Structure 1
């Protein structure tokens, strides 16, 4: 079982993948600014994992069998 299934159609648009990674790092920065270093490290790690899975190692699915009506 994968933690994050990057092949899911939800992750197909690039803007969504970038937004997920950016939101994770933004939340880490928010937690760090409030002095919560543990939560900042947790969300930073989530951002790193999402960045790797959704941006670096992402392979788009071609011909996934969707029908147009």
Structure 2
């Protein structure tokens, strides 16, 4: 099981992916602003991972990959 599964249909729209990465980055800033370096570092790593999975290395699934398999039975 992946932490973030980029093949899930929820992550298909660009605005959803940008929003998630932005929220992670904003929460990182909140933690550092409040002087919580440990939590800030944890969320910085989460932001970097989300950025890499959802924006940098994202490959949208094709229709053939997302279509249910037909076994020929009715």
TM-score, normalized by length of structure 2? Answer: 0.84
Q: Is residue 53 from structure 1 mapped to residue 53 from structure 2 by the alignment?
A: yes
In the alignment, structure 1 residue 18 sits paired with structure 2 residue 18:
yes
> Is 1:65 aligned to 2:37, yes or no?
no
How many Å separate the matches in 1 of 2:20 and 2:52?
12
* Bigger Rg, structure 1 or 2: 2
TM-score by length of 1: 0.90
Distance 1:46 1:7 in 2: 18
Q: Any stretches of 5+ residues in structure 2 without a counterpart? A: 69-74
Q: CA RMSD in A?
A: 1.1
CA distance in 1, matches of 2:49, 2:26: 15
Instruction: Summarize deviations over 1:4-62 as a string: whole Å, max 9, x none.
Output: 11000000000000110010010000010000010011111100000000001110011
